[in-house]
Structure 1
Amino acid sequence: MIHAQESFLRLVANPLILMDQGGNVHFMNDSAASMLASAGHAFAHKIDKIDYSFDPGSPGQSAGAAGKIQVGEKCWRASVFPFLLNDGQEGFLFLPEAEDILKLVDFDTFLNSIDAAIVITDQNGMLEHINDSLSRLLGVGVREWVGRNVQECIDQKVLTDSVSLKVLRAKKPISMNVSYGAGVTIHYKSVPIMDGHGEVRKVISTGRDVTRLINLEKDLSSSETLKDQYYQRLNTLEVLLGGERIVYSSEPMRKVVQVAIKAGKFDTPVFLWGESGVGKEMAARLIHQSGIRSPGPFVGVNCSAVPSELLESEFFGYADGAFTGARKGGQKGLFDEAEGGTLFLDEITELSLTMQSKLLRVIQEREFMRVGGRKRIRTDARIIASTNLSWEELTEGSGFRRDLFYRLSVIPIQIPPLRDRRDDILPLIRFFLTMLNQKYKTNIKIAHSLLPRLYNYDWPGNVRELKNVIERLIVVAGEDEVGEEEFELLNQLDVVKPSDLKEDVSVNRLMPLQEAREKLEQILFKRAYQEGGSIEKAAELLQINPSTIYRKIKKGRLQPP
């Protein structure tokens, strides 16, 4: 039912029926209802209930030609016009004779009562009728276009395109979008009205505003483009890291990645700080692969894993006959392997003082000598160093030379532990879960109830420990989902322990009793939340009402999880 025109269409004296292309009746006025009643029919919802011989899908009916409606023994002549219903469907308007309607009501008034845009042109492309709906859609008056030729309007830049001209040339119905200078796009359905000789007498176009739909399609296309660009950058980063990924969501890690990529564009030495397992080697690879040395090799060595007596020969190689058992012809060292690329010295603070002195000389002079050799060899290897010591540990009794440290730490990059960037925990869980499921050809999921416990665990082993735990969860999973039972099994295996044992109650200074109570409450609340995974469960473990915890959080006495 089209409500906007119903009050007007009821005033038309002649019978009038509106229906869609499937023959479903949307509206009929009182005259049409009386016509059916006189033929012994009540109101019908389908045209085939009124006239079994009438076919709304036939070419003759859809082209706007004259037809007839046969109801019982009575027959009425009718004209068929294309019509756009309020819900955007294309349908038909049935009138007894167009001339009869013109006698009953002013045609412009009839057109202006219709909510859809309507444009009528003659066989020469002259604009005969334009209704007010088109003016409302465009936001400008278009009635002055009446009497002008469509082609002239296009030549004078008043219009950009016209579906009516295309219909006049093709002599068949055409649907297309037409955009206007006002930023409005209208979808037109234009149909030619043919005479008995097959020539076009009129072109009737009905249109609806599709601007919002077009804009939504553009927004969707832009979103798809941004998504493709995101995955392209992600894949680029994956290639840079040799199939690995730096997965992060936190602001601290965003800054680390940003500085690492910038550092890659220069040959400046970089010193990476961070606990074991935070991904220092990944950061070193990112620096190497995102910069000018990416075509060269990346050579990494853990300084703590090489015996001290072999360090010098490992770094600089040895000459022929340097010592008993030496390979004939000598052996190249790490600096040779890293020539033109990057040498990553992990846990550099484990080097002996003697080796530190020799490394400092190589950095200063850019040349070295092989063990047992006499020839100086130039080197062009960038050095990236790392340590898992804190600044206090490095400066207080570590035995690491200050002058070497300052040589290596032109650009220091601190990689925070996982407990200080918890926003990265859930993305890392999803990443490792996907990667390991692909590796083991499984489809294991982790129950949502476990995520708060994984999120609140402090991960002393950092990213490396998180990956190992996810792999263990997949291995011990009984079904397609890891639940409490498997998680408790890991706890029994001493994998995921309650975090922060350092927070057990201890007194190392005097403080006000109220302050001590608040600190103890915070420790107990944090431990209970990690164990229970929710405020309600934490309250149950602490044997208090959950409202007590919510009230303390609101007052700032407890930190929200």
Structure 2
Amino acid sequence: MMDPHRRQTTKEWDFEAVIGKLFDELIITDERGRILTVNGDFEKMYGQPSHQLVGKTVAELEKQRVFYPSVTLRVLETREKQTAVQQTKSGRRMLVTGLPVFDNNGQLRWVICLSRDITEPVRLREYLTVLEKEVDRLQAELEVLRRDRMTNEPIVAASKAMQQVLATARKAAKVDVNVLLLGESGVGKTALARWIHQHSARAEGPLIEVNCGAIPEALLESELFGYEAGAFTGAQRKGKPGFAELADGGTLFFDEIAELSPASQVKVLKLIQEKRFYRVGGTEARTSNFRLIAATNQDLEKLVKEGRFRQDLYYRLNVVPIVIPPLRERKEDIVVLIRSLMETICRKYGVHKTVDPQVVDWLTQLSWKGNVRELENLLERLVVTTESTVIRMDDMPEPYRQTGTLPALRWEKGRTLNVILNEVEREVLLSVAKKGRTTAQIASLLGVSQPTVVRKLKKHGIRLHG
């Protein structure tokens, strides 16, 4: 190392020039921290010209906040190499490394500080940090939207029967017990399975839905357990995890479980019992911590007696059975369902339509063999095909129209005389309207005045076609 008190040679200045190429700034101080020489664009980095720094002490410059903290002072205190990020008066951030230089007697003679401007990388890092936080926020919002989508399924519980169903589901959701959902096709078993998952301690985990009736038996094992790379022709090069593996930490939902073949039932039973499995073509045992929910529209007890469903699997599934009643047995839910489904469907298609009260009243009297799914399909069809903003009886497809059999005469609890008479009146008008194409003809056939016919047709939402 050169002696700073003597004239520097060309060779030595060349050395400083080389250092200056490697680093943005170079400062050399003596053992008291007084600056002997500098190299670099100090005015840009530190806010002062380099010639004004020579002769000053680093302690003085630190006090003036030309730069802080002083790495040189740290080196003088520790007599060891030091590195720190330094803030400058001009607002820059410098990565500074200080090196102690000793003489032959081990005395500290000089401190060399090499600096590099890291302002832009630091700003970029701060920007990336902000972006990461924004991504985390958006992901959280998406998660909320996902939960809303799942929890906003039309789980309507206006009837006592459905209130009891939800009460049982709420209790089952709190513990990792196997749940078996029973009920006719379309009553809402999948919606209730999602509801249970979202109200359980596993709501943060995945909900993996497996339609047992849609997977060919030959593919069930690979779909359920996954497969290793090259396990069979057409397999993905990296292999593929199965439904059981994907459900780890969440819920595994077997829909239409009665459709499993006897051979598949054995595999599913072992998976439920052990929570262990092997990928197809694999030798490593894998485990999955999932909660099980199963559903079927068939009578499993009957299938067990007939030998078509394994009794041991049935008992494994049937820990907490929940029977969802058909829609025809919970007519109180129909009106609420119509309102809920209409909101969802109209939002889906970006329209605003309502259902005439007469139509609502009529829909509550139907048997709904397809249950909620049938009701939803009908309403979606009406929203799409009806030109008017109000859906009336004339808009109903033929299978859902009132007929001359007068089912309105049937009394049921909750149906007042006024409701029954209105339904009879409407059916009579519909029947006569097929024979009389004008209000005058209908009035003549019914023996009433034409204004009366006009008023009653308007009351019941009946439009003449002719």
TM-score normalised per structure 1: 0.46
User: Which of 424, 429, 440 matches 2:333?
Assistant: 424
Paired residue for 1:399, among 287, 302, 308?
Answer: 308
Q: Secondary structure at the match of 1:399?
A: coil
Stretches of structure 1 lacking an aligned partner (at least 5 in a row):
1-234, 505-520, 544-561
Question: Counterpart amino acid of 1:534?
Answer: I
Confirm or deny that 1:534 pairs with 2:416.
no
Per the alignment, do residues 255 and 523 of structure 1 end up closer, same or farther by CA in structure 2, a change over 3 Å counting?
same
Match of 2:189 in 1: 280
Rounded Cα–Cα distance in structure 2 between residues aligned with 1:281 and 1:498: 32
CA contact (8 A) 2:304 2:310 kept: no
Establish whether residue 434 from structure 1 lines up as the match of residue 320 from structure 2: no
Work out the CA distance in 2 between the residues paired with 1:474 and 1:424: 20
8 A Cα contact 1:271 1:412, kept in partner: yes
How far has the Cα of 1:238 moved from its partner? 6.8
Superposition pairs of residues 54-453 of structure 1, within 5 angstroms = 239=148, 241-391=150-300, 393-395=302-304, 397=306, 399-453=308-362
Report the AA paired with residue 535 of structure 1.
L
Q: Percent identity?
A: 41
In structure 2, distance between residues paired with 1:331 and 1:439: 34
Counterpart Cα distance in 2 of 1:236 and 1:290: 15
How far is the alpha carbon of 1:523 from its aligned partner? 10
Alpha-carbon distance in 2 for matches of 1:442, 1:322 = 50
Gap change, CA 1:247 and 1:349, over 3 Å in 2: same
Query: Could you tell me which residue of structure 2 aligns to residue 16 of structure 1?
Result: none
Alpha-carbon shift at residue 449 of structure 1 (Å): 1.6
Quick one: structure 1 residues 446 and 522, their matched pair in 2 at CA, closer, same or farther if it must change by over 3 Å? closer
Partners in 1 of 2:340 and 2:307 — Cα distance? Answer: 37
- Aligned-partner Cα distance in 1 for 2:305–2:173: 31
Q: Kindly tell me: are residues 540 and 430 of structure 1, through their superposed partners in 2, closer, same or farther at Cα, counting changes over 3 Å?
A: closer
The question of 1:472 aligning with 2:358 is answered no
Q: Which letter maps to 2:421?
A: I
Shift of residue 260, structure 1, vs aligned partner: 1.1
Q: In the TM superposition, what is the alpha-carbon distance from 1:271 to its structure 2 partner?
A: 0.5
* Partner-residue secondary structure (3-state), 2:254: strand
Partner of 2:125: none
Which amino acid in 2 is paired with 1:403?
D
Residue pair 2:300, 2:309 contacting (<8 A) in 1 also: no
- Whether the 8 Å CA contact 1:248–1:254 is kept in 2: the answer is yes
Measure, in 2, the Cα distance between the counterparts of 1:461 and 1:428.
14
CA contact (8 A) 1:353 1:401 kept: yes
User: 1:498 and 1:385 mapped to 2: Cα distance?
Assistant: 38
* Equivalent position amino acid for 1:434 in 2: E
**CA deviation map 1:301-350 (0-9, x unaligned):** 11101111000000001123322222223221001110110010000111
* CA drift at 1:390: 2.8
Task: For 2:232 and 2:146, locate their aligned partners in 1 and report how far apart those are by CA, in whole Å.
Answer: 45
* AA partner of residue 452 (structure 1): D
- Note if contact 2:300-2:314 (Cα within 8 Å) is conserved in structure 1: no
Summarize the Cα distance change of 1:526–1:478 in structure 2 as closer, same or farther, 3 Å threshold.
farther
| Counterpart amino acid of residue 379 in structure 2 | I
TM-score (norm 2): 0.55
CA contact (8 A) 2:212 2:259 kept: yes
Uncovered stretches (5+) of structure 2, i.e. residues with no partner = 1-143, 432-466
Instruction: Mark the CA change 1:454 to 1:523 in structure 2 (over 3 Å): closer, same or farther.
Output: closer
- The answer for the alignment partner of 1:486 in structure 2 is 395
Does the 8 Å CA contact 1:240/1:286 hold for their aligned counterparts?
no
Please tell me the residue identity of whatever aligns with 1:377: R
Q: Deviations over 1:198-222 (max 9, x none)?
A: xxxxxxxxxxxxxxxxxxxxxxxxx
* Conservation of the 8 A alpha-carbon contact between 1:240 and 1:285: no
Measured in 2, the distance between the counterparts of 1:497 and 1:397 equals 41
Distance in 2 between residues matched to 1:336 and 1:258, nearest whole Å: 31
Q: State the shift of 1:524 in Å.
A: 7.5
Query: Does structure 1 conserve the Cα–Cα contact (< 8 Å) formed by 2:173 and 2:199?
Result: yes
How far apart, in 2, do the equivalents of 1:540 and 1:481 lie? 18
Query: Higher relative contact order at CA 8 Å, sep ≥6: structure 1 or structure 2?
Result: 2
CA contact (8 A) 2:276 2:288 kept: yes
Q: Cα distance 1:421–1:337, how it changes in 2: closer, same or farther (>3 A)?
A: same
Instruction: Specify the SS of the correspondent of 2:241.
Output: coil
Letter in 2 for 1:454: L
Structure 2 CA distance for aligned equivalents of residues 482 and 359 of structure 1: 47
| Matched AA of 2:193 | A
Where in structure 2 are the equivalents of 1:450-465 lying within 5 Å?
A: 450-465=359-374
Asked whether the 8 Å contact 1:444–1:477 carries over to 2, the reply is: no
Q: Deviations over 1:98-143 (max 9, x none)?
A: xxxxxxxxxxxxxxxxxxxxxxxxxxxxxxxxxxxxxxxxxxxxxx
- Asked if structure 2 preserves the Cα contact closer than 8 Å seen for 1:366 and 1:380, the reply is yes
